[in-house]
Amino acid sequence: MDTMSDVSPPVATGIVNRMKTMAQRVNEQICLLDARGRLRTVTEQPESGLATAEYAVVMIAATGFAGLLVVILKSGTVEGLLNGLVERALSVGG
């Protein structure tokens, strides 16, 4: 029995199927070893922060919003409204 041709077909098929199953399991374990840290993060712990790219996008959006807010607050209309609000608040108190 030196070759697969010497083995009866049902036995050979069973051996081949078991070898394929074992190879698949080994491949899965190797993949788990390669990505163990990432898989652990995804499956066991929820994300508790932003990734670098997400952080950059959020910071750019926040900076843009802050700039827009500064422009709005420096406009004459808003400045007049805020001054009137402060004057009324001070006049009520004393």
Would you state the pLDDT for residue 63?
Answer: 94
The contacts of residue 7 (CB under 8 Å, 6+ apart) are 1, 15
Give 65's DSSP letter. Answer: H
The contacts of residue 47 (CB under 8 Å, 6+ apart) are 41
Mean pLDDT of the chain: 75
Token couple for 83:
């001054």
Which strand (E) or helix (H) includes residue 12? helix 9-34
pLDDT-derived band at 1 (thresholds 50, 70, 90) equals: very low
- pLDDT tens column, 27-67: 676 655 555 555 554 455 555 666 778 888 889 999 999 99
The CA distance from 33 to 76, in Å, is 63
Token couple for 31:
């993949």
